[in-house]
Structure 1
Amino acid sequence: MGVKGEGAAGGQVPAAPTAADLVLARDRLLGGRTGAHQTGRLAPDALREALTDLHEFWLTVHAAHAGVRSDSEGIALLAVGGLGRRELVPYSDLDLVLVHSGHKGINGIAEQLWYPLWNSGVGLDHSVRTVPEALDVAGRDLRTALGLLDARHLAGDETLTRQLADEARDAWRTGVRRRFDEIVSSARQRWQRSGEVAHWVEPDLKHGRGGLRDLAMLDALALAQLVDRPSGEVAQARRLLLDARTELRRIAGRPRDVLMPQDGDEIAAVLGIGDRFALARALSGAGRAVAYALDVALRSGQPGPRKVLGVLRRTPARRPLAEGVVLAADEVTLARDVDPSKDSALLLRVAAAAARTGRPIAPGTLARLGESAPEPRAPWPAEVRQELVSLLGAGEGLIDVVEALDRTGLWARLFPEWGAVRDLPPRDAAHVWTVDRHLVQATANAARLVTNVSRPDLLLIGTVLHDIGKGRGTDHSIVGAALATQVGERLGLPEKDVATLSAMVRHHLLLPHTATRRNISDEATVRRVVDTLDGDPVLLELLHGLAESDSLATGPGVWSDWKAALVADLVSRCRQAMAGERPEGPKPLDDAQRALAESVAASRKPDVLVESGPVATITLVAPDHPGLLSQAAGVLALHSLKVHAAELRAHAGVAVDTFSVSPRFGSLPDKALLREQFTRSLSGSLPLAEKLAAKERDYADVPDDPPAPRVLWFDDEADGGADSADVVLELRTADRLGLLHDIAAALEKCGADVLWARAMQVGGTAIASFSLAPTSPAHGSPDWRHEIEKAVLAAC
């Protein structure tokens, strides 16, 4: 047991147990390596307490033998990290600081403390510093600064410990705002490396987003008085994460922080949680609680505008994003005069604006929407459904927005079916995400493919629902198809679209399974797929996009070049067996539009017809001439009008351009002002291009990673096939303010004669069809098409 020594006050220093004694005692506390079958097993919290006491006793006794005693002056031993917080989990490194005020024999004392631990294999993270040295390192190294916040005295001069701990905490409080960018950057880099506790199948309980490191960050921000102390929900999450990490290491018999599915059943049994799937859901909920609390803390703790004599230098600008939605202090919030209880589309407008801009929704806004935002009545109005599609098509920005809505109960208000898949761990080992996160991630992937399909709205809705049938104990494709029908009817989709949506969910595995498990060169294989899809080419292209989005969101390597090529080949063979359809032309003029056209034909003066409604109709009529469409579209863009559909027609020698629009914010422009600006644009006295460029800079809302624009050509087969003069160009691209103006201007510069045009906006995607008639023989050549295509894509 070692040799007894004399204490400074004349008392006996206890005989020092060896490091081997420490390891032996530790293993006895852990119950050896027999896991849950060991009798007398300590509960996780009791085990952490016992491990802390054991190591603290060993360290204080050895410190006394090395000369670091209670009556020592100018030298102290401190614990930081898990030992400092008294949260020591099995096989953790001991984080120790030997602090001194110029002690001559400090190196010898350090060796007496450190070497026995090293030789026994106990992990050790140590430093020997004076108080100024420790503070200097903390000022340069964030990890050291955070560690000193947990400093706890073990042995020696307690006054020195208190000095270092107090000065470290004071330095943290006064300097935290200057280090805020470093704090955020460090957290994001760690999340990038370690993933998320909430949604990963193999979560890193310590370093992952929503893990124990994030809890330490929350404590540090609360210590700096930037945020309140964590809530009771976060405290429960801390206990579960600590208990799970404790049991994981006890079972593994070594340092491990990544929880593998095969460890889940034993840990769940010890914690009384059921099986590994129940444990996974519980940990997912805990990770979400911690991650959300830290997100809010990092936003609220950000340095704001400086004060001058106690007064803010300037009020944060409030930039309008949509009707009733503004950006203020880098958060999406409600306009001052909006009433959430009277606007069923407001929730989705807020969510879509946040997802498009990549800015978070203010916590107060989420709370207010949760209290008073009504559920959209079934069937949903078209404008509410449009906002849902806009949200789903926002790409990566969708993920954090859905998380915020789900945390506050708002997502379930839109999709009550979501509860069965929330935090649901997958049964398939290929999946790396929980089922709910997989659905959202797949939808974010689908947003990059919307230009590959003629119905981007159905691609996005079908993707977010494709696994909605999981967690119900039967074939998820069959259950999911029934649920998709239920959702589609609630959303107010037409009957045919509901059937297509249901078929997407029912057959979402058809293409990848057929392509990888069957002979796709066999005509019977292709015919089987075509018959299953009832020969529907739209459903075929939707399933193609869904297959890629789904596979990419499953896990690394699931969507390979080989698999992509096989699926594309199968789709190509199936498409050849189906008849493609030329885009539909514009509808005939109604009586009011025909009367206005005849009036303008007689007067030769431009005029405007405005018909209000949730989606208003604005018809601009003028004597036909080149450039008319781009000027009409440009005038509407000047008033921040969102164009849902456009039709260009002619009657009695005048052009009749009809637009279905809604204001992005505010109300419809005055009819007289529209007529005046339209007339000025035609005469050239309105600098349209210059004004549009300035407006687009102010209100750009295109996602950071928009889908690639795509151009398709359709020949008029009824008039002679490929040699026909009349061809249709279809453009699919990300929508933005002024897009239709730019595309029309590009066509006009190429000398194309636009016979008719039809455009629609589906979520964040614009689909525009232009019937083009060449004005010279050279215009019908492939080079002419290439020139037009190049100009149109450049305009996107």
Structure 2
Amino acid sequence: MTTVNSGSAEDLVKAKAVLLEHPGGRRRLSPEALRTALVDLHDFWLSSRCAAIGVNERASLVAVGALGRRELAPYSDLDLVLLHDGRKDVDRLAEQLWYPLWDAGIGLDHSVRTPGQAVQVAATDLRAAFGLLEIRHIAGDPALSDKVRGAVRQAWRAGIRSRFDEIDDGAHDRWTKVGDVAHRIEPDLKSGHGGLRDVQLIGALAAAQLVDRPGSEVAEARDLLLDVRTELHRLAGRARDVLRAQDADEIAAVLEIGDRFELARALSGAARAVAFAAEVGLRSARAALPRRGLAALRRAPVRRPLDSGVVEHMGEVALARDASANRDPALVLRVAATAARTGLPVAAGTLHRLAETAPELREPWPRAALGELLSLLGTGRGMVDVIEALDRTGLWGRMFPEWGAVRDLPPRDRAHVWTVDRHLVEACAQAARLTTRVSRPDLLLVGALLHDIGKGRGGDHSEVGESLAVQMGRRLGFGEADVVLLGRMVRHHLLLPHTATRRDLDDPATVGRVAETLGNDVVLLDLLDALAEADSLATGPAVWSPWKRALIRDLSARTRALMAGESLPEPGPDPELDPELARAVAEDGKPHVRLVQDHDLASVTIGVPGGPAALSASAGVLALHSLEVHAAEVRTTGTLAIARFAVSPRFGGLPDQALIRADLVRVLDGSLVLAEALARKEKDYAPTSPAVEGTVAPRILWFDDEATGAVVMELRAADRIGLLHHVAGALESCDVEVRWARVATLGASVVDSFGLAGAGTDGGVARAARRRIEQAVLAAARQPAGKVPAGRTRKDTPT
């Protein structure tokens, strides 16, 4: 190792660089060993430097922050305090300590304090107080360091009552602003809810003697968070606290965890343990605050009855003195339902007592237990934190052993913002708002809770989930007919959204297949309609779009009418039969546009002379005007093509239809090169995070409709501005007719379906042609945003 000279901070930097390197002949240090080595290295240099410049009597150097806690990551700043007891040369000491570190480019947060100043700044600055509670002596007079440490801690305990609201509000504000480590795709390991700052928070509450020191579960969680953060620094080559998706696989390999999904699952479990401990710690600390003056003379709060065996005590839900889970099998769920209904948290002592004494429920469950479960699920948002508390203490898993497979299970696509278990709870919370729309609200709630229970076990999660739902439904005490219905809900929970967004709803065969799949069961149809909405709302922002809502409701209405023996709703007018638009295009040989606002969506009908490139040219111009296409239909008659689009603005309002027409004219006469214009727009609006682009490998699936002879090509790819234009252009280059298109956006990904017709008399698409189409479409989908496709020049203008 490089020799560390007490006068050269450059040597300190070189020695640190050696620690971070791992040439082929030397074993790479583990994250924990690296942190220990970095702390020892900095301690040695700082103590040597202090000895050389005379930091001894009446002066000492202490570390706070990461160095003080011995948690120094590779690129963490050094947080140092030079303490002194009236020394006249303290400015000289400070300069000779700080300047070499600055000159070497080492991040430094520094201060110079007397004991009185240290206590004063800790009393006025909460962040400084948290750091000074953890000071660690580096060099100089150890008695001075001990004196400051003791004084700060004594003042912290004495003043905690007056500062507690600031501590509580600050934690909750940070959680709201930064979000959960457990559920973020790219979590902030330091400041997020359940991150390292929450471990520090628990330690500060323990220093005030309000709560116990964190237990082994929190300590293990802290170690994992630290290890991931250490490797993140090493990988990035700089300080970074947000774990990006593209870094996770490499970090998982170093930590021997598997892949990024296993790492995400481990981090979720760790962060939830820390978050739960921090939340319970704040509540317990508030209850333990010392009472003074008249408050000390007041009698303890009375227990207010809330339900059988359940009371409110000091703002929390607790057990009545004579309550017993052994005698009352529904007690656990009654406590949970009461907490969710009242918005009060369950007392930590109550949770632990129930975890120790509550037996497993007999099968089938007593009717009272099922009733309390439905009461809990019906509270909506109120149940989310309650179920989290039950889960962290083992009570939820005791009632639902199947939950273990989805607990902390990360999603496999970017549309989902929650782990699978949290998504199920969120979907149930959304379903609680929709119970008045269905005849079986109990099955809607339980079905929402279980619809993805088959994930994490291999195979089709809908099929696996059906058998699990049947098993769990029988255990809960539902009748056999209801158990079968619950299983079918889980089996077919994707039927409506997939059909509505990927198939032609004007085709009677589409509606017929849905009705046949559901066995003409209107009750099941209504349950699936509500579940589709709850599932989408719980998936992530923008998944439940106005267009998706309209499609599913249209499909449900058509299927319900067919089940009732009624005539199907008449399809909308075929765009080729728009006589006014067709006449205008035929008369002047120029494109024409009609834009009609319809609530949240707009309809754009475009007539184009020449025909073959109508879809790609029109889609490209709509993308230039920041319109998101949700569906498209194309009809070609002779030299005339008319396309009808359902669109919504990506932001702002709708453009003027005259501007859309003007750009179409320019595209067709060659004065506007669409490929170049779209490349510029894509570059301007490309994803800000590189994790979005390149992580979704495009994929194509084929479906044959034996009833109509139609061929459906489904493209799954990363979303981008102009994607429909590029894909339509690729299809047109393969001499295949696009009859209709459905575009479903799922977060950063899309599922685009195209109804195709080949050149043959039967409209089919041969196997060889499909391979050629796949190659062209996949090449278009993989084209990086902001790049002009090869060969797309001014001469390559759609006509």
The alignment status of 1:241 with 2:231, answered yes or no, reads: no
Cα distance in structure 2, aligned partners of 1:19 and 1:432 = 44
Q: Counterpart of 2:38 in structure 1: which amino acid?
A: L
CA offset at residue 151 of structure 1? 1.1
Q: 1:307 to 1:19 in 2, by over 3 A?
A: closer
- State the 1:48 CA deviation: 0.7
SS at match of 2:286: coil
State the distance in 2 between where 1:457 and 1:391 align: 11
CA distance in 2, matches of 1:383, 1:371: 21
Equivalent position of 2:42 in the other structure? 55
The equivalent of 2:130 in structure 1 is 146
Write the deviation string for residues 149-176 of structure 1: whole angstroms up to 9, x where unpaired. 1112233444443332221111111112
Question: SS in structure 2 opposite 1:87?
Answer: coil
Answer whether contact 1:68 1:76 (CA < 8 A) is retained.
no
Q: CA deviation at 1:30?
A: 0.9
Q: How many angstroms does 1:318 deviate by?
A: 1.6
Secondary structure of 1:97's match? strand
Of 476, 480, 493, the match for 2:465: 480
What's the offset of the Cα at 1:481? 0.9
Corresponding residue number in structure 2 for 1:739: none
RCO comparison, higher one (Cα < 8 Å, 6+): 1
1:396 aligned residue: 381
Once the two structures are aligned, what percentage of the paired residues are identical?
A: 64
| One-letter code aligned to 2:224 | L
1:426 aligns with 2:416: no
Distance 1:495 1:570 in 2: 29
Q: Which residue identity is paired with 2:159? A: G
1:435-450 alignment, distance < 5 Å? 435-450=420-435
Distance 1:312 1:289 in 2: 37
1:80-125 CA-to-partner distances (Å, cap 9, x unmatched) read 0010111111110111223345555555544443344334432222
CA–CA distance in structure 2, aligned partners of residues 28 and 400 of structure 1 = 46
Instruction: Please name the residue that 2:437 is paired with.
Output: 452
Contact 2:324–2:331 (CA under 8 A) maintained in structure 1:
no
- Decide which of 146, 154, 163 is 2:147's aligned counterpart: 163
Contact 2:329–2:366 (CA under 8 A) maintained in structure 1: no
Deviation at 1:420, TM superposition (A): 1.1
Residue in 2 that maps onto 1:567: 552
Give matches, 1:80-479, under 5 Å.
Answer: 80-101=64-85, 106-107=90-91, 109-303=93-287, 306=291, 313-479=298-464
Q: Which residue of 2 aligns with 1:70?
A: 56
Q: Letter of the 1:198 partner, please give it.
A: A
Q: Is the CA contact (8 Å cut-off) linking 2:334 and 2:372 kept in structure 1? A: yes
Structure 1 Cα separation of the partners of residues 432 and 99 of structure 2? 58
Aligned partner letter, 2:21: G
CA contact (8 A) 1:343 1:374 kept: no
Secondary structure (helix, strand or coil) at the match of 1:341 reads coil
* Residues 537, 580 of structure 1: 8 Å contact kept: no
Query: Secondary structure of 2:13's match?
Result: helix
TM alignment of 1:488-637, pairs within 5 A:
488-579=473-564
- Distance in 1, Cα, partners of 2:548 & 2:144: 65
Residue 524 to residue 223, structure 1, CA distance change in 2 (3 Å): same
* 2:19 partner letter: L
Q: Which residue of 1 aligns with 2:609?
A: none
Amino acid paired to 2:281: A
Map Cα deviations across residues 596-632 of structure 1 (whole Å, 9 max, x no partner): xxxxxxxxxxxxxxxxxxxxxxxxxxxxxxxxxxxxx
CA spacing shift, 1:334–1:247, aligned 2, 3 Å: same
Aligned 8 A contact 1:352 1:391 in 2: yes
What is the CA–CA distance in structure 2 between the aligned matches of 1:378 and 1:163, rounded to whole Å?
Answer: 62
| The 10-residue stretch of structure 1 (317-326 or 291-300) with the greater mean CA deviation from structure 2 | 291-300
Whether the 8 Å contact between 2:533 and 2:544 is mirrored in structure 1 is yes
Deviations 1:455-500 (A, max 9, x none): 2221111111011001111100000011111111222223332222
Amino acid at match of 1:393: G
C-alpha separation in 2, matches of 1:543 and 1:310: 55
Long gaps (5+) in structure 1: 1-13, 582-796
Structure 1's 342 and 118: CA in aligned 2 closer, same or farther, altered over 3 A? Answer: same
Q: d(CA) in 2 for partners of 1:69 and 1:345? A: 66
Which residue of the partner structure matches residue 20 of structure 2? Answer: 30
Equivalent residue of 1:449, what SS?
helix
Superposed CA RMSD in Å reads: 2.7
- State the one-letter code of the partner of 2:401: P
Per the TM alignment, residue 506 of structure 1 is displaced from its structure 2 partner at its CA by 0.9
Q: Match of 1:46? A: 33
String of CA shifts for 1:279-334, please: whole Å, max 9, x gaps. Answer: 33333332232222223322221145836799751221222221111111112111
CA distance in 2 between counterparts of 1:274 and 1:344 reads: 41
Please say if residues 177 and 303 of structure 1, whose CA atoms lie closer than 8 Å, have aligned partners that are also in contact.
Answer: no
Instruction: Indicate the residue corresponding to 2:709 in structure 1.
Output: none
Q: Which amino acid aligns with 1:559?
A: W
**What is the distance in 1 between the residues matched to 2:355 and 2:420?**
24
Secondary structure of 1:470's counterpart equals: coil
In structure 2, do the counterparts of structure 1 residues 135 and 498 end up closer, same or farther at CA, with 3 Å as the change threshold? same
The letter of the residue matching 2:533 is E
The 2-side partners of 1:482 and 1:157 are apart by 69
Judge which range, 153-162 or 491-500, deviates more: 153-162
Measured after TM superposition, the shift of residue 259 of structure 1 is 2.6
Task: Give me the whole-angstrom Cα distance separating, in 2, the residues matched to 1:294 and 1:38.
Answer: 44
TM-score of the aligned structures, taking structure 2 as reference length: 0.66
Letter paired with 1:52 = V
